[in-house]
Amino acid sequence: MKAIILGIVQGLTEFLPISSSGHLVLLKILMGLKTPGVILEVSLHFGTLLAIITYFRKRILSYLTKERISLIIIGTLPIFFVGLLLKDKIELMFTNPILVLSMLFITGSMLLLTLKEKFGGKLNIKTAFIIGIAQSVALIPGISRSGFTVATALMLGIEREESFEFSFILAIPALLGAFTLELINFKFIELNYIQLINGTIAAFLIGLFALWVFYKSIKKKNLYYFTYYLYFVSVTGILLFLSSRSPF
């Protein structure tokens, strides 16, 4: 059951601009749900990775050109170096619920900025690198990767559909990296096939649904709707956490 719950949370929050890390912290506060172990982390990331590849299967082929591959490489460099250099500090941030929940508020504010429409931007080396920086900022728990990358692309004037597409295709190397790191720590002697299958299927199916919802929101210019939700979750989560720590 834990694998299914976490799979649903991962599938929804990894792709919708509402931050998976922030919601895992909230679940921990509300339900006492612990951070998933290595087995579940592997299955959840594998499920979301499969969802992206399935959803964008036709468009991924169009990225198999020298120019497009170079954009993905340039966009991936920031998260690679930031993740490598600041790994321990980033992991330490997960132990601070107030920080994580506050970052949900920042994510909501970032989405509000997309209301100011810009036009004429092009996806090139410069813009790909800037979007890559936005993706690396999302290593901070509570910052939504999809929210920050799509919002950044839109503020650079890149067309909505291309912003959505590039954001998630750019996620493939990042998710592959996370998946590989988790596999390194994976102990096959601890393998629980039921957990693995349940987590993967839940994250995959819910992930496909979340991608569809997010795409519709971008096309209809409704990203700011998520802002209201993020503000509510951020403030409510902080109040719940503080009340749980209160001696009274």
Number of domains into which the chain is organized = 1
Sites in the chain below the pLDDT cut of 50: none
Contact 94, 21 (CB under 8 A): yes
Residue 18 DSSP class: T
Q: Residue 36's pLDDT is what?
A: 54
Q: Residue 21's pLDDT is what?
A: 80
Burial 212-241 (b: 16+ CB within 10 A, else e): eebbebbeeeebeebbeebbebbeebbeeb
pLDDT digit string (tens) for 77-98? 999 999 889 988 988 888 888 9
Q: Residue 62's pLDDT is what?
A: 87
Q: Residue 101's pLDDT is what?
A: 92
Residue 140 DSSP class: S
Domain of residue 37: give its range: 2-245
Q: Residue 41's pLDDT is what?
A: 65
Contact 184, 166 (CB under 8 A): no
Q: Residue 6's pLDDT is what?
A: 78
- Rounded Cα distance, 119 and 106, in Å: 24
